[in-house]
Amino acid sequence: MQLKQYIKDAKEFVQPLAGQLGSLKEGVEYHREIGSIIERLPDPTRVQMRNIIDHCLLYMNENEASDIDLGGPGCKGAIWYRVHGDKTPIESKAKLTLVESDFLLHNLLEPSQRQELTENKNLDFSYAVEPEEENAKPQRYRADLYFDMDHLGLNMRKIDNTIRPFSTLELHPEVAKKLSLKHQKFGLTLVTGITGSGKSSTLDTIIDANNRTVDAHIVVIASPVELIHTPLRSVVRHREVGRDVPSFKAGAIQALRQDPDIIVIGELRDPETIMTSLEITDSGHKTFGTLHTSSTMESVERILGEVPVNEQNRIRNRLADVLTCVISQKLVPTLDGRRVLAKEVLLVTSSVKAAIRNNNISEIYQMLMEGSNRGMNTMEQDLKRLYEMGKISKEVAENNANNKKRLAQLLSQTVY
C-alpha cells in the first residue's frame, strides 16, 4: 500500500475519535482529554493506529531516510523525511489536521510517558517496529516528542541495526589500544560532535569491539537506549533513563555497585553528570561518554567551564588524570550525495595532561597538528585528507572546518 493511502486511512480512522473531544482545543487539559480517550480504546484499535505510524517509519527504508517529522503547525499536515541530509515532505492531497496528528502521537505513549510529556513539554523515548521480513531484528528509533504551538510534533531518527566494523573508524593503533579494555583498564574517552554527527554510531562501534574481544561487564546508560548489543564475550546491560533509571547521574552511581568494567554514559548533558563521570573514572573504571561540542579543545573547555571558579584547579587536575582520548566528529556530504565521517582525534599524552593542568588549552591544537605519529590530527587535517582523496569538495571542507584560516593554509599546500 502506498504511503499516501496510509495518510488517508489515518484521517478516516482518527476523525471519529476527534469528534469525542469537548470544546478544548489547546492546553494541558486538551492533551489529557485526548489521552483519556486513547486509554479507553480497545487494544486492537490502538494497534491499528500504531500500524499507521509504523508504516510511515518503515517507508524510511525505501527512501533511505534518516529521520521522520510529523505533527504540529510546523509540518503543515504533511509527513517529512530527511534523505541524505535534506528534509522534504511527502506530497499528498490528504493532510493531517493538528487534532488528528495529536491523536496518532498520543497513541504511541503509556500513561506515565504522557504525564512526563505534559509536565516537561518534551519526551525522549525509544520506539521499535517489528520488521515485515521473518527472523529480522526489530527496527529501533530514537524519538523526541515535543510541543509546537500547543500541539504535538514528533521527530524519530532511525537507528542503524548494523554496527560498523571498528576498522571503518580508521584509527591509529595507539588510539585503538586506548579504547580497548584489553590494553587500557581505566580512563575517560569522549566522543563529541553536534546533533546528527554520528556520535552514537561511533560509540556503538567501540562498545561492540570490546564486547567481541574481552570478558567483561559493560553497563550502557542512555536516553533513550538506541542500538541493543547482543552479549558476546561480555555481559551487556542497557539502562534507559526514565524507564530503568531516573537520571544519568543515578545510573552511573548505581553502576559502581554492579561490578562493571566499562560504563557508558550516553550523554554528559549537565554539570552533575560530567562531575560524576570524572569521579567514577577516577575510581578505576573505563568510562565512555558523549558531549555536544565541535572540537577536542572545546570539549576540555566545556568540562572545565561547568564547575565554579574555586573548583577549577581541582577539576583540571582530575581531568588531566583520567582523560585518555577525545574523538570529535562530523558527518560531511560527499561528492556522490552521501555522507562521510570527518574526525579530530586527541590522544592524551603527558604534554596534553600538562596543558590541561596549567590551563594552557590553546596549546593542544599544535599538539594535534604535530601528533600524527601517535594517531592525532585536527579536523582541518582530516578534511584535507578527504578532499585529496576526492571524497568531498573544497567548499564542503571549508564549510566544516573549525579553523578556516588553518584549512586554507593546508589546502594551499595540496599538490596534484
Residues 6+ positions from 161 with CB-CB distance below 8 Å? 137, 139, 140, 227
**Judgement on whether residues 322 and 338 belong to the same structural domain of the protein:** yes
Q: Does residue 409 sit within a domain?
A: no
If one counts every other C-beta atom within 10 angstroms of the C-beta of residue 174, the result is 16
**261 lies in a domain?**
yes
Sign of CA dihedral 251, 256, 259, 262: positive
Classify residue 412: in a domain, yes or no.
no
Q: What is the pLDDT of residues 313-347, one digit of tens each?
A: 999 999 999 999 999 999 999 999 889 999 999 99
Tell me, yes or no, whether 185 and 305 share the same domain: yes
123 and 7 in a common domain: yes
Question: Has residue 393 been placed in a domain?
Answer: no
Instruction: Give yes or no: residues 140 and 239 share one domain.
Output: no
In a domain, 56, yes or no: yes
> How many independent structural domains does the chain possess?
2
Whether 133 and 208 map to the same domain: the answer is no
Cβ atoms of residues 210 and 262 within 8 Å:
yes
DSSP states of 11-25: HHHHHHHHTT--S--
Q: Position 121: which residue type?
A: K
* Residue-wise burial string across 95-134, b where 16 or more C-beta atoms lie within 10 A, e elsewhere: ebebbbbbbbbbbbbeeebbebbbeeeebbbbbebeeeee
For 143-152, b/e burial (b = at least 16 CB within 10 A) is bebbbeebbb
| CATH number, position 225 | 3.40.50.300
Which residue shows C-alpha cell 504522557?
114
Are 219 and 111 part of one and the same domain?
Answer: no
Q: Domain residues for 281? A: 166-377
Whether 88 and 218 map to the same domain: the answer is no
Q: Are residues 123 and 170 in the same domain?
A: no
Residue 232: other Cβ atoms inside 10 A: 14
Q: Looking at the structure, do residues 151 and 181 belong to the same domain, yes or no? A: no
* pLDDT of 133: 73
15 part of a folded domain: yes
Please state, in angstroms and rounded to a whole number, the distance separating the CA atoms of residues 194 and 330.
7
Report yes or no on 390 lying in a domain.
no
CATH code of the domain covering residue 34: 3.30.450.90
* Residue 44 · residue 5 · CB < 8 Å: no
Q: How many residues does the chain have?
A: 416
Domain shared by 200 and 279, yes or no: yes
Amino acid at 274: I
Give the chain's residues under pLDDT 70: 1, 3, 24-25, 414-416
Give yes or no: residues 89 and 181 share one domain: no
Q: Final residue of a domain: which of 101, 127, 158?
A: 158
Torsions phi, psi of 115, nearest 5?
A: -65, -45
**Residue 221 shares a structural domain with residue 190:** yes
Any idea which residue has 550502557 for its cell?
220
* Predicted local distance difference test score (pLDDT) of residue 155: 97
Instruction: Report if residue 392 sits inside a domain.
Output: no
- Give me the pLDDT at residue 414, please: 62
Of the candidates 176, 156, 158, 155, the one whose C-alpha atom is nearest the C-alpha of residue 166 is 176
Residue-wise pLDDT tens digits, 361-404: 999 999 999 999 999 999 999 999 999 999 999 999 999 999 99
- Residue ranges of alpha helices (H) inside 197-259 are 199-213, 248-255
